[in-house]
Structure 1
Amino acid sequence: MASGLAITALFALLYAVVFVIGVWFLPSTLFGLLLMIGFTLLIILFQYGISPLIVGWLYSIDWIPYEEFARHYPHLADSLDKVVAINGIKVPRLGIIHDLNPNAFTFGWSKNSARVVITDGILEYLNEKEQNAVFSHELGHVVHSDFIIMTIVFAIPLVLLTIARWAYYAGWYSGRRRSSDDGGNLIGLILIVVAVLAYISYYLGYLISLIVSRIREYYADEHSAEVLEDPNALATGLVKIAYGLLVDTNNGQVKERNRSRVRALRGLGIFDPNTAKGLGIISVSSTKVLSMEAIQAAAAWDLFNPWAKYYQFRSTHPLPAKRIMRLNAQCEFYGVKPTIDFSNARKIKEAQAGKSMWDEFLSDVMVKTLPTLVFIALLGFTIGWIFGLVGFSTLPFLNTRNIILMWAVGLYIIGFLSILKTRYMYKSGFEAKKVVDLITNVKVSPVRCVPAVVEGVVVGRGVPGYYFSEDMKFQDDTGLMYIDYRFGIGIVDMIFSLRTVRKLIGKRVRIKGWYRRGPSPYIQVDTIETEDGRRHRNYAKHLRYFWPILMFSVGIYLFYLWL
């Protein structure tokens, strides 16, 4: 994921540089717009051409010849042969990442130049049928030409963004400003309208591209079910990959694993790391049997929490529970009974949160956004007064002195609201918890936390294989959890990632923090204690008080000006 973000940032920077050059040196005409669109398309094609090479370079992949792959994994080779024969494609290049973090992904230029990669974790924790299901899902992306389709789909919003920015700068800030006559003003107004419409179209296009991406994932799931003639294999595989099943059932102890080099590539992997990273439920009963009740409780958040709908709206992948439900619906066609049963998920949710969760959701949103809303209201009111908008100029009490007083009082209100927000998001009352206790909590959100203390072992970095990841992966005897150590200041995070994280991997720790889910479950660290007595504090909570202090300080200064 880190490399994917790095690649995206690199090409975004390239796009920004090209666009700035175009704004200042190309004519503000239709010809200039066409040139900018041409540059945008060239950047997209360049990214399409070079990205597979960058991915292959950044990830430690052991490429295996087909003959060796078939000898070691004959069950996977059988599925591969079947797919290749039916669809008439070339055999993809096959790779293994020697990492016990279970995942699989595919990348390449076309169905005849694809690479399919699985990790050792897929082979370790999934049975052969589940391995086949995950492998066939990735082959589904290959035969459906998703590399090309998704490149085109995501290119369209970028072209719309280019049009919007060109129209905006051509109308206002181009080096060739319009004359002040009526014709020039009319053209400028038209360009601003075009910019607004293009920005709206860009946003709608981006949302549509996410919908298309989620549909392609469903198609790949259907391909997996078709190859195996059983949707259950992928459903149970998703439970293990997205919700995790990484406990050693022989003795229940955590083993030190090779550090992960890959989690997934956003848009190409078996699941979206933004929606499933850290979904580390290991629900094991006293007989070491997977607990269906715990799975349903974990899935209930996906199915019923309004925050899940919000995050699904912005994701390239459907939430795991949604995919499993769709796979269950296909079982009748293949004459099999669904293995994963969500029939009691609603009862579990209602037992914890009642009939509706919208009241908690709206409370969370209000707490999260109220300081910002007050600031926007102050800013809007002031702009209306400055430009003499209808209604503002007729208010007799509005003058410069009273506007200063309004801002002084408003900043104090924002400061107090920010303190209330911090106290709401960082509650006290820490209690000892197990991972499975936390993961099955349906009411939790990115705002509404559960203060918790967990004990276990740090098994890896939060972003596997990323050297500058300050976050970690934690495991107790019931499950895995993503540990968020982000401080909020880049240099501090980098120092912690370089000096401390590698020393914590493999050590038993006691972590005190705030459990959240948004959409993946994670613990935001307050303190990490090791067995040898070392303590690592995180002051992200304390840093949040900087803004109220700033608001109060500016407010005092404005009061001084007002007096």
Structure 2
Amino acid sequence: MGLKLASTLAVMFLFALMYAVVFTIGVWFLPSNLFGLLLMIAFTVGIVLLQYGISPLIVGWIYRIDWIEYEEYANRYPHLADAVEKVVAIREIKPPKLGIIHDLNPQAFTFGWTKNSARLVITDGILHYLDDNEQRAVVAHELGHIVHNDFILMTVVFAIPLVLLTIARWSYYTARFSSFRSSKDDDAGSYIGLALIVVAVVSYISYWIGFLISLFVSRIREYFADQHAAELTENPNYLSTALVKIAYGLLANGTKKEIKQHQKSKVRALRGLGIFDPKKAKDVAVQTMDRNGKLSKHSVEAAAGWDLFNPWAKYFQTFSTHPLPAKRIQRLNEQCATYGVPIEYDFSGARKIKEQQVGKSMAGEFITDLFVYKLPTLIFIILIALSAGWIFGFLGFLPLGTLATINTIVLLWAIGFFVMGFGVIARTSFMYRSGFEPDNVVELITTINVSPVRPRPSIIEGVIVGKGIAGYWLSEDLYFQDNTGLMYIDYRFGFRLMDFWWALRRADQLVGQKVKIQGWYRRGPSPYFQVDTIWTESGRRFRNYSKHMTYISAVLFFIIGVFLFYLWFTVL
């Protein structure tokens, strides 16, 4: 998860909580007329303005940012200061406040109120893994958000669906509860209630349409920021190669000989973990590179193949604020001719790689994933449908005969809860399969037939180089590097209190340690590795019980099923 997205979600959660509480109070105590609706809309707009006003302060508080004076920044990073000065001079804006997060997770983001009061933050990872041109491109991208006034624009864009949601909720709750407040009970009141329900439905549908449009606008703004980076650096490839490193975690620094020597030294360092035998170690880093020491075209195209051809990619693209990396690189490629530079990665071989891995179509895998993931929900929907049929039969609308009894419906739900319990077990077995094999980042990233539901069980070895959300003191997740690349490590426990404890007591302690991690590689908007077990060089072991937590719902379903069977046998 990128820092920009993470910070936005954190702030939005705080204000969503406030919105929910105050909205509930307003529904009960404000008058159920047009004046009450206007008050609720005014409250919603007020929440948006409050969020806009104090969110930069909150972001500055929840992230460990080392703010640097401009003169010192220019002395340390003259190539980055040059990009800032160029934009400031051309756009006639004030220089942004500049900061560094001391974490090797390569991320960058900007926040603030206006283009003249912006903050621009990068991590040590940007400086460590990217070359100077790529660093300038990343900073230029963030400067693009500043000069385009995206802070203000996106606040307005996302406020509109929220107002529509307020109208929908007000209409629904007013129609539902206004009869308890009114002394009248006539036909006019019934018609008004029906009209309010219609307004609620239309507003709610409009909210979802508006929300999707807002996400689309957000993705367009990212493309504009990419275009700004290409204009400033006069070479779109700089941002493309930066995206490959940041989004896919593929690394290649130095010549093939240097990488090979570096890989050997790290293998020896990891021997104490029982990870590699130096005598048998393969050139795992070299496979990401071509003979010139650059990232190989095959590796990049295979990594991009998921974005381009996996059906899950279309789903995540629709509900994401950012375009998928491969889509952004394709847009940047379209600009290469303008600057007279050849395209670095054209993805011309991506389809062939995808077909070699999974065939021409992935529809079957996608449908299977959805079926497995939604299996308990599907069973519940079937139970609801059968129950509705039973009700119609009980009322005499359907010829169910002796089946339309209380005993029948209780038995149906008893069986249904047991089936849902087994459905949860089946889903867990599919999503948390065994068969862990030694792997490396490049092999995982270049696997196309994975999803949030369909994992690749693996064991990876390397070093924890940072937090999953760089600089965020409550980030329970980690960032990992082996000899081939970088990977986001998801330590999601399934119980928020345990995640909080891990973030405070353990996550920081693991940064810088050599580790072996067993878990499941998955792919969402970004690649990530979900933890089962972490072993450190010192011999410590950390288990994650997220898999086991999924069985709690199965146990609850079985308990309810047993209780209903008891009623069916003894009471009814």
2:369 is the alignment partner of 1:364 = yes
Aligned partner (choices 522, 538, 545) of residue 539 of structure 1: 545
- How far apart, in 2, do the equivalents of 1:51 and 1:306 lie? 35
2:494 is the alignment partner of 1:491 = no
Give the conservation status (yes or no) of the 8 Å contact 1:384–1:392: no
**What is the match of residue 266 of structure 1?**
none
Shift of 1:490: 2.3
Shift of 1:189: 0.8
Give the conservation status (yes or no) of the 8 Å contact 2:249–2:487: no
2:513 is the alignment partner of 1:517 = no
- Cα-to-partner distance string for 1:130-169 (whole Å, 9 max, x where unaligned): 2222222111111211111100000001101111111111
Give the conservation status (yes or no) of the 8 Å contact 1:385–1:392: no
Give the conservation status (yes or no) of the 8 Å contact 1:160–1:202: yes
Give the conservation status (yes or no) of the 8 Å contact 2:383–2:416: yes
- How far apart, in 1, do the equivalents of 2:538 and 2:74 lie? 48
2:454 is the alignment partner of 1:458 = no
- How far apart, in 1, do the equivalents of 2:88 and 2:235 lie? 19
**What is the match of residue 258 of structure 1?**
none
1:47-62 alignment to 2 at 5 Å?
47-62=51-66
- How far apart, in 2, do the equivalents of 1:488 and 1:437 lie? 27
Structure 1 gaps, min length 5: 256-279
**What is the match of residue 74 of structure 1?**
78
Give the conservation status (yes or no) of the 8 Å contact 2:304–2:326: yes
- Cα-to-partner distance string for 1:11-33 (whole Å, 9 max, x where unaligned): 11221222122112211111111
Amino acid in structure 2 at the alignment position of 1:346? R
1:382-401 alignment to 2 at 5 Å?
382-383=387-388, 385-386=390-391, 393-396=398-401, 397-401=403-407
- How far apart, in 2, do the equivalents of 1:168 and 1:203 lie? 16
Give the conservation status (yes or no) of the 8 Å contact 1:297–1:441: yes
- How far apart, in 1, do the equivalents of 2:77 and 2:520 lie? 43
Give the conservation status (yes or no) of the 8 Å contact 1:407–1:558: yes
1:472–1:131 CA distance, 2 compared to 1 (3 A): closer
Amino acid in structure 1 at the alignment position of 2:219? R
- How far apart, in 2, do the equivalents of 1:437 and 1:306 lie? 21
Shift of 1:211: 0.1
- Secondary structure in 1 matching 2:376: helix
Aligned partner (choices 139, 144, 147) of residue 148 of structure 2: 144
**What is the match of residue 273 of structure 2?**
none
- How far apart, in 2, do the equivalents of 1:84 and 1:502 lie? 37
The two structures have a TM-score, normalised by structure 1, of 0.89
2:11 is the alignment partner of 1:19 = no
**What is the match of residue 158 of structure 1?**
162
Shift of 1:247: 7.2
**In terms of mean alpha carbon deviation, does 350-359 or 290-299 score higher?**
290-299
1:372–1:134 CA distance, 2 compared to 1 (3 A): same
**What is the match of residue 300 of structure 2?**
295
1:461–1:107 CA distance, 2 compared to 1 (3 A): closer
- How far apart, in 2, do the equivalents of 1:388 and 1:195 lie? 31
1:373–1:350 CA distance, 2 compared to 1 (3 A): same
- How far apart, in 2, do the equivalents of 1:532 and 1:82 lie? 49
1:335-414 alignment to 2 at 5 Å?
335-383=340-388, 385-386=390-391, 393-396=398-401, 397-414=403-420
Shift of 1:335: 1.9
- Secondary structure in 2 matching 1:173: helix
- How far apart, in 2, do the equivalents of 1:547 and 1:11 lie? 30
- Secondary structure in 1 matching 2:374: helix
Identity of aligned residues (%): 62
1:443-454 alignment to 2 at 5 Å?
443-454=449-460
- Cα-to-partner distance string for 1:196-251 (whole Å, 9 max, x where unaligned): 11111111111100000000000111111122222111111211222235677652
Shift of 1:523: 2.3
- How far apart, in 2, do the equivalents of 1:560 and 1:345 lie? 58
Give the conservation status (yes or no) of the 8 Å contact 1:284–1:478: no
**In terms of mean alpha carbon deviation, does 547-556 or 338-347 score higher?**
547-556
Structure 2 gaps, min length 5: 268-284
Shift of 1:386: 4.1
- How far apart, in 1, do the equivalents of 2:54 and 2:566 lie? 59
**What is the match of residue 106 of structure 1?**
110
- How far apart, in 2, do the equivalents of 1:118 and 1:505 lie? 19
- Secondary structure in 1 matching 2:308: helix
Amino acid in structure 1 at the alignment position of 2:209? L
Structure with more helix by fraction:
2
1:483–1:282 CA distance, 2 compared to 1 (3 A): farther
- Secondary structure in 1 matching 2:145: helix
**In terms of mean alpha carbon deviation, does 474-483 or 209-218 score higher?**
474-483
2:332 is the alignment partner of 1:327 = yes
**What is the match of residue 437 of structure 1?**
443
2:513 is the alignment partner of 1:507 = yes
Amino acid in structure 2 at the alignment position of 1:77? A
Shift of 1:312: 0.9
1:25-424 alignment to 2 at 5 Å?
25-174=29-178, 176-177=181-182, 179-245=184-250, 251-252=262-263, 283-284=288-289, 288-383=293-388, 385-386=390-391, 393-396=398-401, 397-424=403-430
- Secondary structure in 1 matching 2:542: strand
- Secondary structure in 1 matching 2:167: helix
Shift of 1:431: 1.3
Amino acid in structure 2 at the alignment position of 1:81? E
- How far apart, in 1, do the equivalents of 2:299 and 2:491 lie? 27
Amino acid in structure 1 at the alignment position of 2:294? V
- Cα-to-partner distance string for 1:472-493 (whole Å, 9 max, x where unaligned): 2222222222222222122333
- How far apart, in 2, do the equivalents of 1:68 and 1:474 lie? 30
**In terms of mean alpha carbon deviation, does 31-40 or 54-63 score higher?**
54-63
- Cα RMSD (Å): 2.6
- How far apart, in 1, do the equivalents of 2:117 and 2:331 lie? 30
- Secondary structure in 2 matching 1:452: strand
- Secondary structure in 1 matching 2:529: strand
How many equivalent pairs are there? 539
2:546 is the alignment partner of 1:529 = no
**What is the match of residue 265 of structure 1?**
none
1:330–1:296 CA distance, 2 compared to 1 (3 A): same
2:438 is the alignment partner of 1:425 = no
- Cα-to-partner distance string for 1:48-94 (whole Å, 9 max, x where unaligned): 11112222233333334444444443333333333233323233233
Shift of 1:115: 2.0
2:481 is the alignment partner of 1:467 = no
- How far apart, in 2, do the equivalents of 1:225 and 1:377 lie? 53
- How far apart, in 2, do the equivalents of 1:196 and 1:364 lie? 31
1:390–1:301 CA distance, 2 compared to 1 (3 A): farther
**What is the match of residue 282 of structure 2?**
none
